Homo-oligomer: A and B are copies of this chain.
Amino acid sequence: MDMLVSIYGPTYLAKSDYYCHTNHDNVESHMEIAHSVQQIKPSYIREILAAASDENVISLAGGLPDEQTFPIHLMKPAIESLPTMRDVFQYGPTPGYEPLIAHLTQSYQLPETHRVITCTGSQQGLDLIARAYVNPKDTIAMEAPCYLGAMQVFGLAQANLVTISQDEFGPNISELEQCFKTESPKMFYAVPDFHNPTGVCWSLEKRHQVAALCMKYNVVFIEDAPYRELRFSGDALALVSDFCPDHSIVLRSLSKVASPGLRFGTVSGKQSYLEPLVKVKQGADLHSSTPVQAIILGLLQHPEFPSHLKAIRAVYQARHATLVQALQTYLPDGCTIIPTEGGMFVWVTLPTCDTYQLAHELLANKVAVVPSPVFYPASSQATSAIRLNFTNAAPEDLITAVQRIARVLKSNLTKI
């Protein structure tokens, strides 16, 4: 769990840490925790991140957007009109605030047979999918490396996780078909647009191939698209789900382009797929905050929202360019970076080494990164790499951080 906290960076871990002394849980508690929760692995990187709360440390370990990019001025009118909207303070329907549902249904261009529901962040959408469909031991396919929050949710559901390796164009297709054929997973979870942690954006060909395999083997594709709007250049590729609309569920988020603190995301797919999610959500929280949904509707309908998206892309494109250039300038031979055109992360593969040990040394040198093994269900699968976030550090700090990383790498690699 603490691993998940890590994606928000040190401060949040420090806070959460206050609550998470796993080892004495069961001593003090009169209640044995559920088996599903007992399975949660202790964090391997807590100490790294705890130490990183030192303000002299430059953290590229988190996954936070830059607060300065939040379009608060575009949300202001909706926020200020809330006091006049008495109805949004009453209980609302579980699927979501109806004017927003109507807006999303149109903007997502959903077919007649499909629906969208709103959630407390797309993280909740993923949790609802797991709770509605996954029984203990059910097989779920996912890419490796993979988003920590997804491993956590499917772990809570006690799923059997099988992983598919990834190249710079997306998942290995023959591996995927082999997996579908021999393991018949219930779903394939993936982040095709600017993957976390690798930044990979699936090629159009891979998207067609994955959709075809999902239909052929009747595997439901869970398409998690939180970074989709963070494309630096060129046009968006079709969603994988566009090629298998009746074999997929799509998760969308406004956390990266608007505000993660509001906690807003959506799940869309055919009605029969969403009905069980609504039933689980009724028990989970009745519905997500309606005033928040009214703010989101105001933002999405604001005439300047499209230009805000352009602006935020430009900010992150510049940070990305700064980071990549610094990496190309300073990194020693044997380190490679996967080119990417969007998202929030750069994945740096390294000559084989102990990446935990490396992360420790980097911290001693005042820079925090996330070592690759935490992104794998089985750390042993991990190739040596580190994930660098470029959205929440100033350009000059990105350069300084890379210089520190390069210095430590050089002294380390000579030791190897």
Contacts and interface: CB of A to CB of B under 8 A. Distances in A.
Interface of A: 1, 4-5, 8, 12, 15-16, 18-22, 24-25, 27-37, 40, 64-65, 67-68, 70, 72-73, 75-76, 79-80, 82-83, 86-95, 98, 115, 117, 119-121, 123-124, 127, 131-135, 149, 152-153, 155-157, 186-187, 218, 220, 246-247, 255, 259-263, 270-276, 278-280, 282-292, 295
Contacts of A64: 90-91
Contact of A131 (B19, B34, B89, B115): B34
Contacts of A37: 131-132, 276, 279-280
A152 B155 CA distance: 23
A21 B218 CA distance: 23
A272 B79 contact: no
B131 A30 contact: no
B12 A91 contact: yes
* A8, A255, A282 interface centre (most CB from chain B within 10 Å): A282
B261 A285 contact: no
Contact of A282 (B16, B32, B82): B16
Contacts of A133: 31-34
A278 B79 contact: no
Given A124-B285, A280-B37, A284-B124, A260 B95 contact: no
Contacts of A282: 1, 4-5, 16, 152
Contact of A288 (B12, B16, B263): B263
Contact of A70 (B20, B21, B89, B117): B89
Contacts of A278: 1, 16, 19-20
* A32, A152, A274, A275 interface centre (most CB from chain B within 10 Å): A275
Given A12-B93, A31-B187, A92-B261, 17 more contacts: A4-B282, A4-B283, A15-B93, A15-B94, A18-B95, A21-B275, A34-B135, A79-B79, A87-B261, A89-B261, A120-B289, A127-B284, A261-B289, A263-B285, A263-B287, A289-B292, A291-B292
Contacts of A21: 275
Nearest to A92: B261
A303 to B, nearest CB: 18
Contacts of A40: 279
A398 B291 CA distance: 30
Nearest to A28: B272
B73 A86 contact: no
Contacts of A152: 282-283
B33 A261 contact: no
Contacts of A5: 94, 282
A161 B155 CA distance: 26
A187 B115 CA distance: 38
A188 to B, nearest CB: 12
A274 B12 contact: no
Given A89-B67, A89-B261, A95 B15 contact: yes
B19 A95 contact: yes
B123 A284 contact: yes
A290 to B, nearest CB: 4
Contacts of A98: 15
27 contacts: A1-B283, A4-B286, A12-B93, A15-B98, A16-B95, A19-B115, A19-B274, A25-B272, A25-B275, A25-B276, A30-B247, A31-B133, A35-B135, A36-B131, A72-B89, A90-B260, A90-B261, A123-B284, A131-B156, A152-B283, A155-B283, A156-B283, A261-B291, A263-B287, A263-B288, A289-B289, A291-B292
Which are the 3 A-B pairs with shortest beta-carbon distances?
A: A28-B272, A15-B93, A89-B259
Contacts of A4: 282-283, 286
Contacts of A27: 272
A67 B89 CA distance: 8
A277 to B, nearest CB: 9
